[in-house]
Structure 1
């Protein structure tokens, strides 16, 4: 499966379980380890686990090998390693603290107010 198709499939899998603030960063020019980093947020331990699980299941269904899944025990930050794409699903406080987007050359996420607030 091509990189663009993998990234799109991961985003679809995250959207299926209502992930928030999905960011796709192309980092191949920064590291030889992987080509893309995808970061998303879930509101609770349960949702973070469900998001990561859905990504793993959907990728396996499409023939993309899931090399490892780390952090499922606690559900604050779960990493899904797809080889050339790494997916980080985090609770908002953890995501803000580690600021992976900014670390990897993207923009620091800015919270968007929900409608009606």
Structure 2
């Protein structure tokens, strides 16, 4: 997660019951924010200590967010921990014609399969 406010947003869903790690921002070379300016080392330390099976990256879907996610995935790779990202796509109640091409494209690539009329996992 980027910021403490993100924790509250996820808590309000009542869908996640694990631990959180707030990075304190995202990598942004334009703004002079590099990996050493974030709490990445403490995340790596937590993972290295063991007991972490998966790191879910809940980071904004921006160029900087994608850069941060890519960097974190590379840093976590040696520890054999599963990394995933929260889903991205068309919001519930959204109209396709008003959805930008990148979001719509990612929605198609990350589509949810249906089995017997139900979304998989429901």
- Using the size of structure 1 for normalisation, the TM-score is 0.29
Select the structure of larger CA radius of gyration. 2
The structure where helix makes up a greater share of residues is 2
The structure where strand makes up a greater share of residues is 1
